[in-house]
Amino acid sequence: MSWFKGNVDLPDPDKNILPEEENRVLDKLAKQVVKRGMTVPAILFLESVKPLNFIGSQVLVFFEPIIQTLFNFKDYNTFRVALEKRETIEILLLKIEKLDAVALKREKLIKKYAKEQKKNWKWYQRYLGIFTPRIDIPGELLEAPDNDVKPDENSDASKKA
């Protein structure tokens, strides 16, 4: 017997639970969070306010006239409507974590490439930092490796499964 009503399983982020418009807004928000390097604070904040998502959507309704006069957000109402659904916060968290894993993998590949390039430098460039050449990173390393992202064996997500 459960004390909670409803489903307590994690939603599948690839499954289309949300409409296309709301999914696009959540993708856009998740990309901005990862781009600005705010993954950990965003996850902490979203995990702490997860039970209050409906109240947060109603706060957005209350502040809408003020925000719409100062800024012109096209996706404001779409995000507000998406927050009314309970699974939206969890889907947003999963998207942020997935994009952060992609960014981390890309960063590791770039560091590995830079380390290989530094092996060809002269001793004074390597140890003294004098006349260091510019490292040109190839385009395939800058693109997102979406398909080959797997959770690490040591991560918490793989332990839960």
Q: CA-based Rg of the chain, rounded to a whole angstrom?
A: 21
| Nearest in space to 104 (alpha carbons), one of 43, 41, 48, 149 | 149
pLDDT at 132: 83
Residues 13-38 have a mean pLDDT of 88
Is the pLDDT reported for residue 91 higher than 60? yes
Domain boundaries, the chain: 20-160
pLDDT at 72: 75
Round the average pLDDT of the chain to a whole number and report it: 81
**Residue 106 CB neighbours (<10 A):** 16
Is the pLDDT reported for residue 43 higher than 90? yes
Residues 98-127 have a mean pLDDT of 89
DSSP conformation class of 14: T
C-alpha dihedral, 91 to 95 to 96 to 98, nearest 10°:
140
